[in-house]
Amino acid sequence: MSTKDTVWPEGVARHVLPSVDSTMNEAARLAPGLSGSTWIFARVQTAARGRRGRAWRAPEGNFSATLVMRPEGGLAQAALYSFVAALALEAALSHVAGPHARLAIKWPNDVLLDGGKVAGILLETLGQGAQLKLAIGIGVNLAHTPAPDTLESGAMVPVSLLEQTGMRVTPDDFLPMLARAFAHYDQQFRDYGFDAIRNAWLARAARLGEQITARVGGQTHHGIFETIDHSGALILREQQGTRAIAAADIFF
C-alpha cells in the first residue's frame, strides 16, 4: 500500500475500537463531547444495525465505521450528506477494486458491485439546535457476505469485494481511503453546493432511466427512475405523471 493510501485528512479525528456493540451507538454516546469531525471505527460490531433498526451483519474482516460531524446548513441539509457519503464510498471502493470494477450507487444509500449490494449507509441526527450533529454509519462487505437466511425477503443479493474482485483489503487500510474521499466530496459540497454532488451522484446512479419499483409504507409505485431533485428526492415517472419520493425501499 502506498503512503498516499494511508494519509489521514487534516482536522479530522478518529477513535479505533477492537470491538463495540455498534459504531452508531458509540457515536451517540461520544457525540456530546466531540468538537469536530470524528470517525469511530470498530474491527468488530456485535449489534450492528441498518435502516429502520434492521440488523446489519458485520463479521470480522468487514468494515464498520461511523463519522460524526456537524452538517453545514443544519437539519435542512443533513440528509444530503447521504449522497456525499455514497460518492466517497464509491470512490474508495473504486480505488481498491480498480477501474474495471462495476460499481454503482443505488438510491438512497447502497453501493452496488456487479449488481449486488457491497455496502450500505445509515444517517441519524444527534442533538438539536446549536448542538446538532450528524452520524453517518457505513458498513462494507470487504471479505464476507451475510448468510442467505439472515436476509429480508426481496433484499438485494449481497456481495463482497473479495469474492467479486479477488482484492483483499483490511478494514484498517480501508478507513483512511474512505476518510480522505469523504473529506474531498465534503469540501466540494461546502464550496459548490449540492449541484456538484448531485451531478456526480447521477453519473454513478444505478438504473437511472430504467423501470424500478418504489415501496413507500404500504404503497407500491412503478415507473422510470428519471433523476433526483435538489432535495435528494427520487423522481419517478409514472403513467399519470411524475412523483417525488423522499424515502422508500427501491427494487429492480
Q: Which domains does the chain have, with CATH numbers?
A: 4-202 (3.30.930.10), 211-251 (2.30.30.100)
User: Phi and psi dihedrals of 213, rounded to 5?
Assistant: -120, 135
Q: Which three cell numbers stand for residue 39?
A: 470517525
Kindly tell me if the per-residue pLDDT of 122 is higher than 60: yes
pLDDT given at position 131: 85
For residue 6, the tally of other CB atoms under 10 A from its CB is 13
Kindly tell me if the per-residue pLDDT of 50 is higher than 70: no
The Cα–Cα gap between 146 and 157 comes to 9
Identity at 242, one-letter amino acid code: T
What is the reported pTM?
0.92
Cα 99–120–152 angle (5° rounding)?
Answer: 125
The Cα–Cα gap between 55 and 7 comes to 32
Helical (H) or strand (E) element with 106? strand 103-106
Mean pLDDT in the chain? Answer: 91
pLDDT tens readout for residues 180-216: 999 999 999 999 999 999 999 999 999 999 999 999 9
CA distances from 245 to 131, 134, 136, 226, 233 (A): 29, 22, 21, 12, 5
pLDDT tens readout for residues 90-99: 999 999 998 8
Kindly tell me if the per-residue pLDDT of 52 is higher than 80: no
pLDDT band per the 50, 70, 90 thresholds, residue 22? very high
pLDDT tens readout for residues 106-119: 998 899 999 999 99
pLDDT tens readout for residues 142-172: 999 976 656 565 667 899 999 999 999 999 9
The torsion defined by the Cα of 206, 151, 90 and 24, in degrees rounded to 10, comes to 130
pLDDT band per the 50, 70, 90 thresholds, residue 49? low
pLDDT given at position 154: 61
Helical (H) or strand (E) element with 196? helix 194-202
User: What is the DSSP code string of 200-224?
Assistant: HHHTTBTTTTSEEEEEETTEEEEEE
The Cα–Cα gap between 24 and 66 comes to 6
CA distances from 250 to 59, 140, 159, 207, 242 (A): 26, 19, 18, 11, 16
The Cα–Cα gap between 214 and 223 comes to 8
Lowest-pLDDT range of 15-24, 58-67, 166-175: 58-67
The Cα–Cα gap between 44 and 33 comes to 23
For the chain, give the longest Cα–Cα distance: 55
